[in-house]
Structure 1
Amino acid sequence: MSLYKHILVAIDLTEEADVVLEKARSIAEKNSARLTLVHVVEPLSVAYGSDIPLDLTTLQDEITEQARERIARLADKINIEKGEQHVVYGRPEREVHRIAEESDIDLIVVGSHGRHGLALILGSTSTSILHGANCDVLAVRVGKS
């Protein structure tokens, strides 16, 4: 009997995404589970404040298109179909939780830099995903310790 049937991999599209994706692929293989990828593009107004007197629509569209191209390349490496690749717009923790619930996900895999001190207190995307998830969450250590 498989422990997991459907795994959601939340990736940030950096070079470290390969480590997270490989870990998820390995777990999926051992459990005969389906893999779904998601990358969340955060609104630039959140990242840089809403006081910017510029129209950021074109830049936001370009970032989203680049994310689609990158996620497609990652998915091709491990044969994940187009329908299982999501690039969505919003807050990472909310969108990952939404997709997990809508897709009957039983494991979310996310990269974690293992922050310490003030960075840990302030939280991170992986911590935000962990809290509030209705399924198991695996934080894969990436980057330098």
Structure 2
Amino acid sequence: MSYEHLLVAVDLTEECDPVIKRAMAIAMDNSANDAKTTKVSLVHIVEPMAMAFGGDVPMDLSQLQQQQFDQAKERMERLFNKYPDIQRGDSHLVYGQPRQEIHELAKKQACDLIVVGSHGRHGLALLLGSTANDVLHGAPCDVLAVRLQKKE
């Protein structure tokens, strides 16, 4: 199957490198086998801090939230320097819940493959959930979970 638009969900850590590399390899293979160029877009979701604390926080987190967003912008910029084939206009930095935002963006952008990293958790960690597992359920297109190696 040939893909035309890949949406790569990144966490902006070093661990996202294999995810981006896999997406770029798929895009190159598709472009080599097809006359069309496969577009690669990046997305990073900044979760509202109130969500992390269960929504019941007795203080204003807006300044911390803005710092988190600014740091994410800087890290995204480093990814563009590292992967010059990905266009800056093809990136999305969004506030919200990862599953919902990734699904919505995939629909809006007419993506036909979402690429995410997965730690392949088992047991309790699996029960607690993961972004990759969340994205898989209800996705508007194919989803590729790239297995990430555990850090020693």
Task: Tell whether 2:140 aligns with 1:134.
Answer: yes
Bigger mean CA deviation after superposition, 45-54 or 8-17: 45-54
Give the TM-score normalised by structure 1: 0.94
Bigger mean CA deviation after superposition, 89-98 or 68-77: 68-77
Unpaired runs of at least 5, structure 1? none
Report the CA distance between 1:8 and its aligned residue: 0.3
Q: How many residues align?
A: 144
Distance in 1 separating the partners of 2:54 and 2:129? 19
Unpaired runs of at least 5, structure 2? 32-37
Give CA-to-partner distance per residue, 1:31-84, whole Å, 9 cap, x none: 121100000000100112322211100110110111111112112322222210
Give the equivalent residue in structure 2 for 1:112. 118
Give the equivalent residue in structure 2 for 1:65. 70
Please give the root-mean-square deviation of Cα atoms over the aligned residues, in Å.
Answer: 1.4
The DSSP-based 3-state class of the residue aligned with 2:94 is strand
Report the CA distance between 1:118 and its aligned residue: 1.9
Distance in 1 separating the partners of 2:68 and 2:27? 29
Matches of residues 36-51 of structure 1 in structure 2 within 5 Å? Answer: 36-51=41-56
Contact 1:75/1:85 (8 A) holds in 2: no
Distance in 2 separating the partners of 1:91 and 1:74? 22
Distance in 1 separating the partners of 2:50 and 2:149? 27
Give the TM-score normalised by structure 2: 0.90
